[in-house]
Structure 1
Amino acid sequence: MLNSTVIDGILADVAEAVTAGKLQRGWLLLSPLLQAAVAQTNELTREQQYHVTAQAAELAIALKRPGVALDCARHAESLTMQKGWPTHLQALALRDLGRLDEAVTLWERVLAGESYVQAAYQGLGSLLSRQECYLRARQVLDDGVRLWPRSADLWLSYGLVQARLDDLEGAEAALRTAMRLGPAGWEAPLLNLAWVLRRRGGFAEALQLHRQAVELAPESAEAHWNLATSLLSHGQYREGFAAFEWRFRRGRALLQQRDIPPWDGQAELSGKRILVAREQGVGDTLQMLRFAAVLAARGAEVIWEAHAGLESLCASVIGVHAVVGPDMALPEVEYQVPAMSLPYCLRVTDAADIPPAPYLTAPAGDPVPLTVSAGRKKIGLVWRGNPSHEGDAARSIALPRLGEMLHRSSGMVDWVCLQRPDNREAFLPELAACFRDDLGPWLSDFSRTARALMALDLVISVDTAVLHLAGALGRPVWGLLPLASDWRWLIGRDDSPWYSTLRLFRQTEPAPAGDPWGPVLQQVMAALEWYKPVR
């Protein structure tokens, strides 16, 4: 028989279990009370029924049972005149069920009411940001931090939204406030502040924050991975590549699971077959192919797992014994190593340890369909990367922004479009006329792309696989980079230890509003006037 003393004791035990992180135990303890509350027996008062069903909703959300949470939250709402908190819980459950528009509607109802619920501002602001409704998210979170100026969570979300809106100064201020107000050992504001500082050119402080985040949360894969990319950007390869191994614990760098012993750089390879497993993007593979010859020099028979369309190009690399494509059977091997782990396993500690380019050869095949024109520079252009890449908005350039460069140089350059048709905006007639040749539809695989690059005097590209391919072939290539570029291009340099024929044009200060690429393109146009092809 339940009475107030027993009920209070059970609720206290539930709270203790939840505080200790024993969510499943808390649920089991609460279940008898929940059954009584849902049945609306006389054993529980109406107020107790409300507290039990509301707590059950919170627990179910934490246990990733959003359907159960939604039912409990709706029941709790029916038991009280104060609708704010149970409506907020319903919105959380709907969000986790993927019913995002319904969640937004409920949160907006909470914000419009008289019962102020801090978590509702947090939930709505975060969800609107997730939906890329950044202006509306900023309005919600701006109201939130004015109502609860000491909420570290709200300041954190506020800073992230401002960063998405490119208000980097405001983002930095908000994130520093979150750091000051948050609990000790909370690494989230440090990592996000470091991200903002990198975008503002504050690379040294960002590295310090990444180190601090690892000290605060030594088991955080996100903290270690961010430290890795920061170290590698500074050319600190020994420590950076070691930390880079944490990428698998983030759940983003995925490998096909195989029952093959891993190679960590210690085991003898003479007479052994080793699989270099495919991971991440095509550019990563092209960068790492240089290490095949190093493995072969240790006596290994190197089996390289290639992306679709990259098979014949990989087969041309010295040291690669065989190539395995996506639909090919894997031969027997003794070891495997992820492609991006090769610098760590082969103990790359500084630029002198990086095998030089060129190390790729363009496979023979059908001729490149280029228009013959004597005495003019043939320059290939790539202006967009993979749109699914999380940093693509910063690294890609809208084609109209390149119009001045294309028009100004048209008297001395035959521009060649290397952008694939499935990844480019429709050409405006005045821009289409700037290209002497459009090879995009012809570039069906990377072997054809390699032959095209060999036929050109120069390649100009944003940070894409084509940039890596040109460098690996030893072709002259100019890379256009944002201020906070990928780790492999280091900081503030116009050359690269990875590709000797690469010249980098990069933003050197936070981008002017509305024209992030203007200064970079001015440098490129000036360099084009003096560029003389070397064959």
Structure 2
Amino acid sequence: MQPRSRPREDGPPRGGHRKLRPRPRVARGPCRGACEPGQCFGRLGTPRSRGRQFRPRACDGASLARLARREEALASYERALSIRPDMAEAEFGRGIVFRDQTRFEEAVRCFDRAIELNRTDAVRGLFHSHRAEALNLLGRFPEAFADVRRCLEVAPNDDQVLYAVSLIELLHGRWREAWPKYERRIALNVGIPEGFSPPPWPPWRGERLEHELLVLRGEQGLGDHVLFSCFAAHLAKLGHRIALWTKPSLEPLLRTVPGVERVVSDIAALEDSTGLRWTSMMSVPGILGTMPETVPRNGPFLAADPDRVAAWRQRLGNHGFKIGIAWQNAGASHLDKLRSVPLREFASLTDIAGVRLISLQKGRGVEEIETVGFGERIETLGDDFDAGGGAFLDSAAAMMNLDLIVTPDNAIAHLAGALGRPTFVALMHVPEWRWLLDRDDSPWYPATRLFRQSSASDWLGVFARITDVVRGRALQAN
């Protein structure tokens, strides 16, 4: 959920936050790790005369996919299938590549064939979970949930399957069923760096604490650190002593979470503390049994530095209806290009009298400014914007001087929401689970309004609706 191409941080020495792709737990074959788990073909019992020619090609497909050389990977899988048309794992590998290319219809057809060919329940559950994901993204929800039921029948204890199912259930608001499954992300190292060791403190499982300090470990993307810090404010309000363990760059910003005693990026800083407990920040809603209707609403739970706010007020001035815009998501997921909005879609906002467009975009995406006809209307905030002192400190201060923020699903959306700023979020047709479905408000951020695609890639319709609402607001403000 990162809107900008910041260098990835390694995070605290004893527990960083690098987001890792979950890895299927399927037995490896004779390739001994050369290919991705779940895509190893050397173990399939091909005839010796054919196997010597075939195995390297099969493993090549998985290796090429891992290197994002997707067209070459597809060609490799197709060669494998020309030799063994009944090879389920090769069809599955093709489906994964199509998924990563956001070619979901083709992915579904490959998963169909893989499921038909496969005879092993544990692997079939994995295939069903991937098909459920693709069907869900296509908006074919009844079919997706049919696959959910099937993969839970054949692989009821598989970490990869249960985690994949949890993401679908969370999107559809089935949080009670989803939270226990979502915990399987930990076994899969989602958001956990290689070599991470849990701290030597007892885990917190929801019991009432007296004098202990509860350490909440941030995980996954910058937007997740921001969003789930709302639970730090909530637990502090309930009387718990709270510390946050986060990325170094986020320490200054997260120190503004109300009620939090300590914010650290290295748990060595807590060595002088006693009576410590800990849990992952994104485990808290499951521990508390949070439902969409019971998300804590404690008002804004982040604050901008007053001196920076004053400095940006002077720099931006008071004239015009000031809209902060971001358009790119700089994450590594195959869905990030679908979440991002081409800058050209913002053109209709420039037709509204008095509107000023102020860029909050950093890194990848800024090159689009030179390619759009209204580029000269976009005000940029200089190379020193958010360049030092901590992530988003200038962004937060600038937002406090804006009338509105318009952005896709990225960390800017979560920052603006946490600050309580008026925000319009443009969402892909089937969004990331935190935004749920079939609503134009957010349970996390009362001042945020959601504008959803009515069909895949329909940014034109989204921005037509946004422009209509902005026109009314700008007229009223002027």
1:312-356 deviation digits (Å, cap 9, x = unpaired): 332222221122134871242420111111111222134124334
SS at 2:211 equivalent: coil
Q: Which residue, out of 388, 404, 409, partners 1:458?
A: 404
Aligned twin of 2:20? none
Shift of 1:156: 2.0
Shift of 1:473: 1.4
Aligned twin of 2:322? 378
In structure 2, do the counterparts of structure 1 residues 143 and 523 end up closer, same or farther at CA, with 3 Å as the change threshold? farther
In 2: Cα distance, 1:496 partner to 1:457 partner? 19
Q: Which residue, out of 49, 52, 56, partners 1:86?
A: 52
Aligned twin of 2:348? 405
Shift of 1:481: 1.4
1:202 equivalent to 2:140? Answer yes
Q: Which residue, out of 450, 471, 474, partners 1:529?
A: 471
Q: Which residue, out of 242, 248, 258, partners 2:186?
A: 248
Larger radius of gyration between Structure 1 and Structure 2? 1
**Contact 1:418 1:440 survives alignment (8 Å):** no
SS at 1:529 equivalent: helix
In 2: Cα distance, 1:177 partner to 1:84 partner? 23
In 2: Cα distance, 1:378 partner to 1:270 partner? 47
Shift of 1:403: 5.5
In structure 2, do the counterparts of structure 1 residues 170 and 521 end up closer, same or farther at CA, with 3 Å as the change threshold? same
**Contact 2:100 2:334 survives alignment (8 Å):** no
SS at 1:242 equivalent: helix
In structure 2, do the counterparts of structure 1 residues 531 and 207 end up closer, same or farther at CA, with 3 Å as the change threshold? farther
Query: Which structure 2 residues correspond to residues 351-390 of structure 1 after superposition, within 5 A?
Result: 351-366=293-308, 367-368=311-312, 370-374=315-319, 376-390=320-334
In 2: Cα distance, 1:201 partner to 1:441 partner? 42
Aligned twin of 2:448? 502
Shift of 1:170: 2.9
Name the stretch that deviates more: 242-251 or 382-391.
382-391
Shift of 1:522: 2.9
SS at 1:415 equivalent: strand
Shift of 1:171: 2.6
In structure 2, do the counterparts of structure 1 residues 141 and 452 end up closer, same or farther at CA, with 3 Å as the change threshold? same
1:237 equivalent to 2:237? Answer no
Q: Quote the sequence identity (%).
A: 26
Unaligned runs of 5+ in 2: 1-25, 36-41, 43-47
**Contact 1:271 1:299 survives alignment (8 Å):** no
Shift of 1:380: 0.3
In 2: Cα distance, 1:439 partner to 1:455 partner? 17
In 1: Cα distance, 2:27 partner to 2:419 partner? 56
In 2: Cα distance, 1:136 partner to 1:471 partner? 42
Q: Which residue, out of 149, 156, 167, partners 2:92?
A: 156
1:343 equivalent to 2:285? Answer yes
Shift of 1:88: 4.4
In structure 2, do the counterparts of structure 1 residues 148 and 435 end up closer, same or farther at CA, with 3 Å as the change threshold? same
**Contact 1:275 1:337 survives alignment (8 Å):** yes
In structure 2, do the counterparts of structure 1 residues 483 and 326 end up closer, same or farther at CA, with 3 Å as the change threshold? farther
In structure 2, do the counterparts of structure 1 residues 426 and 521 end up closer, same or farther at CA, with 3 Å as the change threshold? closer
The TM-score, its normalising length taken from structure 1, stands at 0.72
SS at 2:412 equivalent: helix
Write the letter of the residue equivalent to 1:387.
G
In structure 2, do the counterparts of structure 1 residues 427 and 293 end up closer, same or farther at CA, with 3 Å as the change threshold? closer
**Contact 1:275 1:302 survives alignment (8 Å):** yes
**Which protein, 1 or 2, shows the higher relative CO under an 8 Å CA cutoff with sep ≥ 6?**
2
